[in-house]
Structure 1
Amino acid sequence: MITFPNAKINLGLNITEKRPDGYHNLETVFYPIPLEDALEVTAGHPEGNAKYTLHQGGIPIEGDPDTNLVVKAYRMLDERFNLPPVDIHLFKHIPSGAGLGGGSADAAFMLKMLNEEFRLKLTDDELEAYAARLGADCAVFIRNRATYAEGIGNIFSPVSLSLNGYRLLVVKPDIFVSTRNAFAQIRPHRPEHPVREVIALPVEQWKGLLTNDFEDSVFPQFPAIGAIKEEMYRQGALYASMSGSGSSVYGLFTPETSIDESRFEGNVFNLLLK
């Protein structure tokens, strides 16, 4: 069985308060986009007594393969259901450390695929609960639709929003942004324009109203990321923003807008939303 985990962008991201447990409450809208990895699982015969083998391709993934979120997803369900041994093939196309949720999507899609392949009969609510144990934004990829998120990014409610027909440009520079450092510079506050109110407006009115609080801490540290956003507006973006805590920046354009991709350094993805 093969599936194609997709990325997301954050439409607005306000850090509203610091919690007693040290985490932060926030508000954002997760919006799925057609930038995809490829994930395949087959009943297999891993070497030795191992229950799984992970084969990786595409963009290199640093770290021990056993710590990959797709492996953690398999282990989690294996503890309850004693799953058959599997071969896992993961081809990475979504850049890591980009604020695009690629690893989280892989994990959530792994849970859904195992549920279907081995007829585990888990409901979406149960799958979301498992996904939340893997990461705060993993669960949003279970239903995989435009979603308003509160709390630490784990309290969901659907929103009526379609960006179909817009051209989306995503630029991931060769810059690593530490989420920990990005949070360290944040000053929580209640937004003047809540995300849910702004996204109800036409996209042409989002500029200046729909904000990502991480930009205030990330752009001074990495001016090149801020410059990407400025260049998108120079080229006619209706709205542009950093996604998550970075380092990718996206812009929404009309499909007729001519975009000079050579003005951007790094990975550039030009997508039509539909």
Structure 2
Amino acid sequence: MITFPNAKINLGLNIVSKRDDGYHNIESCFYPIPWRDSLEVMEAASFAFHSYGLKIPGDTSSNLCVKAYDLLKTDFDIPPVEIHLLKNIPMGAGLGGGSADGAFTLKMLNDLFSLGLSDSMLEAYALQLGSDCPFFIRNQPTIATDRGEQLEPIDLDLSGYYLAIHNPGIHVSTKEAYSGVKPKESEISVSEIVQRPIEQWKELLRNDFEASIFPNHPEIEQLKKEMYEAGAIYASMTGSGSTVFGVFEDEIAHTEWKSFELH
């Protein structure tokens, strides 16, 4: 069984407040985009995990695909599997690629072994893997709140627009990203803004991490400016960086930027 886990972008990201558990409450719109990994899962004599493409840091046991299998193996009598992951989506880039891989592994195991898990049940398992993982179970435009795990589908369709996206290869740690933010309630919710005409987003839709990251990494801020200079209707850093995207009316030709038609 083969599937193609996709990335997501953040349309707006407000850091609303700091929680007692040390995490932050956020508000953001997660939007799926067609930048994909390739994931194959098959029954095998013994468990094995193989990765190709972009090098994945860390030990194999910490990979979310492996953790997804171990999670379901605890509750269900499923046989060993062999997992092959072709990694195309950059890691630590605000695109949710690892979270997608883990969530899609859960969905594949559910289908492969007819476990009968509903989307809600899969989301509960996915949350044990990470805050971003539940989004990729239903994989549709969604308003995310709290730590990012409270999900409310939103009627948002960017079909026909084009996305230019580029990861400049700058690593921004979560600690660095949060160190400069000042949590505050936004005057207009992300949910309300993204339902306005896209031409209004430039003045209203913010990623709060930009204020702390741009001074330390002016190359990322410059990339956002270049997106607007190239004609973007809206441009932003996604997540805690360092990937920047622009939404365009027409397909954009650039030697370094990836371009996709949105669906």
The ranges of structure 1 where at least 4 consecutive aligned residues each deviate by more than 2 angstroms after the TM superposition are none
In structure 1, stretches of 5+ residues that fail to align are 47-51
Tell me the secondary structure at the aligned position of residue 30 of structure 1: strand
The residue number in structure 1 matching 2:2 is 2
The residue number in structure 1 matching 2:169 is 174
Contact kept, 8 Å, 1:27 with 1:150, in 2: the verdict is yes
The residue number in structure 1 matching 2:25 is 25
Q: Mapping of 1:197-212 within 5 angstroms?
A: 197-212=192-207
The residue number in structure 2 matching 1:14 is 14
Contact kept, 8 Å, 1:193 with 1:210, in 2: the verdict is no
For 2:85, give the aligned amino acid: L
Q: Offset of 1:118 from its aligned partner?
A: 0.3
Q: Mapping of 1:53-132 within 5 angstroms?
A: 53-132=48-127
> How far apart are the structure 1 equivalents of 2:43 and 2:153?
35
- Is residue 261 from structure 1 mapped to residue 250 from structure 2 by the alignment? no
Contact kept, 8 Å, 1:41 with 1:87, in 2: the verdict is yes
Q: Offset of 1:221 from its aligned partner?
A: 0.8
The residue number in structure 1 matching 2:39 is 39
Q: Offset of 1:254 from its aligned partner?
A: 0.6
Q: Offset of 1:194 from its aligned partner?
A: 1.5
Deviations 1:182-216 (A, max 9, x none): 11111000112210111111111100200000000
Deviations 1:5-43 (A, max 9, x none): 000000000001111111111100000001100000011
TM-score, L = length of structure 2: 0.98
> How far apart are the structure 2 equivalents of 1:192 and 1:238?
22
> How far apart are the structure 2 equivalents of 1:140 and 1:24?
18
TM-score, L = length of structure 1: 0.94
Q: Mapping of 1:179-218 within 5 angstroms?
A: 179-218=174-213
Q: How many correspondences in the alignment?
A: 263
Q: Percent identity?
A: 54
> How far apart are the structure 2 equivalents of 1:8 and 1:260?
21
Tell me the secondary structure at the aligned position of residue 203 of structure 2: coil
CA RMSD after TM alignment? 1.0
- Is residue 136 from structure 1 mapped to residue 125 from structure 2 by the alignment? no
> How far apart are the structure 2 equivalents of 1:130 and 1:260?
40
The residue number in structure 2 matching 1:49 is none
> How far apart are the structure 2 equivalents of 1:29 and 1:248?
16
In structure 2, stretches of 5+ residues that fail to align are none
- Is residue 225 from structure 1 mapped to residue 214 from structure 2 by the alignment? no
> How far apart are the structure 1 equivalents of 2:150 and 2:239?
17
Deviations 1:165-194 (A, max 9, x none): 001011001110001211111100011221
